[in-house]
């Protein structure tokens, strides 16, 4: 599936690359094979996966052209966003 980056997503990924070395390929790999996909606001889906003692979250929408990445961010608040049983959070 083709991945389309918004300018905002590219800028945020570059910021996270400086902070936590989250590279573009890692984001695209997560979108292609997420640990979990959850619903976000206004029909946006969020691919997420555990990494670096936290959670990498990539909000995206499906389009005719592929998957459009809206933004990229990392959080330490796994329990807030991860859906499922508590043992899945480890």
CA distance 68 to 64: 10
Q: What is the pLDDT of residue 85?
A: 60
Which uninterrupted H or E stretch holds 62? strand 54-63
Per-residue pLDDT for the chain (90 aa), expressed as one digit of tens each?
899 999 999 999 999 999 999 999 999 999 999 999 999 999 899 999 999 999 999 999 999 999 999 999 999 999 999 998 644 443
What pLDDT score was predicted for residue 33? 96
The pLDDT score that the predictor gives to residue 84 is 83
Domain span at residue 24? 3-89
> Of the candidates 60, 89, 58, 54, which has an alpha carbon nearest to the alpha carbon of residue 75?
54
CATH number at residue 15: 3.30.2310.20
Rounded Cα distance between 6 and 14, Å, is: 13
The tally of domains found in the chain comes to 1
């Amino acid at each position: 599936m083709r991945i389309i980056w918004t300018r905002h997503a590219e800028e945020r990924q570059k910021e996270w690359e400086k902070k936590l070395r989250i590279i573009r390929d890692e984001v695209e790999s997560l979108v292609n094979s997420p640990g979990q996909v959850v619903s976000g606001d206004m029909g946006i889906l969020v691919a997420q996966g555990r990494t670096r003692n936290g959670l990498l979250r990539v909000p995206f929408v499906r389009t005719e052209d592929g998957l459009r990445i809206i933004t990229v961010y990392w959080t330490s608040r796994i329990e807030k966003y991860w859906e499922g049983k508590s043992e899945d959070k480890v």
